[in-house]
């Protein structure tokens, strides 16, 4: 879906009008969570989620956390529902899969660690365990009640914040902010903000990867829950945004839309640029004509967040036998 502008504006007529529906939405989600008994597994599960409807940066943050744990000899796998994909799973994501099969974000995750798509996530967890996983990172798992989570992180984009503080459809929250944070073990804030939370807080930042353009004039497009963050990053890099075009989150682009974007860039004598998440969904014939902004999430205190995890899951300090065997080869 495409976020309405009033979600990120001071309370107005529309948000007030829709607020009773938001109340029912939030209470309905809470009731569903209480009706399920979380299933425990033989290995720990870390949830990387949010309480905002899209755009917080949870997927690159999950990747950053996986890298930290992999460096410490831990066999990490991802499990996700594969939003937008047709496959029910459980299936391990490979380069042969298309976004229409598994969704866009699993294709990004699979570049960094084994990734399992399963609409029934406990089945995906079991497959990962059978394949030698020592720890699972559950992408977009904060509202998942079918799994027991050893640690639950909530990711928040400081630029986005909590919007107008109301629940869908009156605002961008998936659930009541206080209830959502109370179920979390820690908050990960990306960017500079002044978030006050009565839970541990870890700071992170996005680092754009190096690139060079023949022009600094760009037409930017994306299908993100909070596209403003992408556009702000481009401006911070010194690029001139002569035009922008925002699409709904997880949008599948048509040939007509891509031709219109190409014409817009030619008209402005500018380059066409998008995100990696959008790029992976495009046909190869289009991918080679576009520029991509790659970003990486970096924790300000990587040792601090690792120590936090090891304190809650002490046996992670010992490398998994599968990892030890691979190192000896």
Instruction: Establish if 154 belongs to a structural domain.
Output: yes
DSSP state for residue 157 in the 8-state scheme: E
65 and 139 together in one domain: yes
146 and 188 together in one domain: yes
| Structural domain for 143, as ranges | 5-75+134-205+298-328
Task: Kindly report, residue by residue over 246-296, the tens digit of the pLDDT.
Answer: 998 878 899 999 999 999 999 999 999 999 889 988 888 888 888 888 889
Q: How many CA atoms lie within 13 A of 258 on its CB side?
A: 18
Residue range 75-101: mean pLDDT, rounded: 88
61 and 145 together in one domain: yes
What beta strand segments (E) does 28-110 contain? 45-49, 76-80, 91-92
63 and 196 together in one domain: yes
71 and 139 together in one domain: yes
Mean pLDDT check: name the lowest of 194-203, 277-286, 319-328.
319-328
Instruction: Establish if 27 belongs to a structural domain.
Output: yes
Q: Which two tokens stand for residue 233?
A: 């990053």
141 and 289 together in one domain: no
- Predicted TM-score of the model (pTM): 0.84
Instruction: Establish if 210 belongs to a structural domain.
Output: no
Residue 12 has φ and ψ, to the nearest 5°, of -135, -165
Q: Which two tokens stand for residue 11?
A: 């309370």
Q: How many CA atoms lie within 13 A of 207 on its CB side?
A: 9
User: pLDDT category, 1, cuts 50, 70, 90?
Assistant: low
236 and 188 together in one domain: no
Q: Give CA–CA dist 160/225, Å, rounded.
A: 10
44 and 147 together in one domain: yes
Q: What is the pLDDT of residue 326?
A: 39
Nearest alpha carbon to residue 151 among 206, 199, 92: 199
327 sits in which H/E element: helix 321-328
Instruction: Establish if 163 belongs to a structural domain.
Output: yes
């Amino acid at each position: 879906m495409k976020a309405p502008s009033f979600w990120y504006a001071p309370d107005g007529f529309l948000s007030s009008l829709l607020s009773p529906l938001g109340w029912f939405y939030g209470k309905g989600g809470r009731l569903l969570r209480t009706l399920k008994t979380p299933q425990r597994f033989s290995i720990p599960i870390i949830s990387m989620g949010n309480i905002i409807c899209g755009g917080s940066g949870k997927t690159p943050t999950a990747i950053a956390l996986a890298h930290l744990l992999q460096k410490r000899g831990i066999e990490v796998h991802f499990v996700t529902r594969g939003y937008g994909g047709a496959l029910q799973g459980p299936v391990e994501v490979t380069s042969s899969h298309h976004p229409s099969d598994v969704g866009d974000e699993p294709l990004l995750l699979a570049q960094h660690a084994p990734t399992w798509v399963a609409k029934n996530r406990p089945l995906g967890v079991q497959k990962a365990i059978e394949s030698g996983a020592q720890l699972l990172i559950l992408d977009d798992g904060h509202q998942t009640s079918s799994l027991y989570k050893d640690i639950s992180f909530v990711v928040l984009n400081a630029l986005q914040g909590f919007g107008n503080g109301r629940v869908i459809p009156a605002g961008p929250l998936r659930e009541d902010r206080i209830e959502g944070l109370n179920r979390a073990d820690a908050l990960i804030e990306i960017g500079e903000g002044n978030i006050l939370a009565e839970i541990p807080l870890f700071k992170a930042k996005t680092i754009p990867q190096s690139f060079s353009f023949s022009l600094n004039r760009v037409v930017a497009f994306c299908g993100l829950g909070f596209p403003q963050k992408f556009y702000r990053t481009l401006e911070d890099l010194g690029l001139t945004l002569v035009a922008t075009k925002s699409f709904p989150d997880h949008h599948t682009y048509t040939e007509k839309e891509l031709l219109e974007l190409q014409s817009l860039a030619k008209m402005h004598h500018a380059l066409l640029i998008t995100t990696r998440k959008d790029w992976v969904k495009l046909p190869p014939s289009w991918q080679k004509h576009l520029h991509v902004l790659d970003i990486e999430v970096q924790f300000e205190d990587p040792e601090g967040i690792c120590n936090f995890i090891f304190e809650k899951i002490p046996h992670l300090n010992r490398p998994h036998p599968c990892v030890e065997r691979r190192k000896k080869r």
